[in-house]
Amino acid sequence: MEDFHVSLKKAKEAISGSESPFKEVFAHGTLSVELYQPDKIDHQTPHERDEVYIIAEGSGKFHLENEYISFEKGDFLFVPAGKEHRFESFTADFSTWVLFYGPKGGETDIQ
């Protein structure tokens, strides 16, 4: 059973044969995992679901609404559904895991 493990190497191989900068590499329930590897410019628009980025390689700046954050390999970034965001000034080797989950519109805090 290998469906529970996706290596960065295998994900990069899958995306290298694609014209798209992202490739879904795992799905389960509401969870969708992609590898995202933009070429020089990040053309993302806001997404309908909450998402998490885990930086696989590289570094740069991350723009979320009115805030800029420096990121590097291993960092975790959370983006609520519908928020404007993009990666900027990233290194040529940049790639990130993207985890989409939950319902459209995002989850709400449960107290």
Q: Which of 111, 106, 66, 69 is nearest to 90 (CA)?
A: 69
**Each residue of 67-108: pLDDT tens digit?**
999 999 999 999 999 999 999 999 999 999 999 999 999 998
CA distance 105 to 57: 29
25-40: per-residue pLDDT in tens?
Answer: 999 999 999 999 999 9
Tokens found for residue 16: 């290298």
- H or E element that contains 96: strand 95-101
Q: Give, as one character, the DSSP assignment of residue 66.
A: T
Strands 59-64 and 31-36: unpaired
Q: In order of start, what are the domains of the chain with their CATH numbers?
A: 8-101 (2.60.120.10)
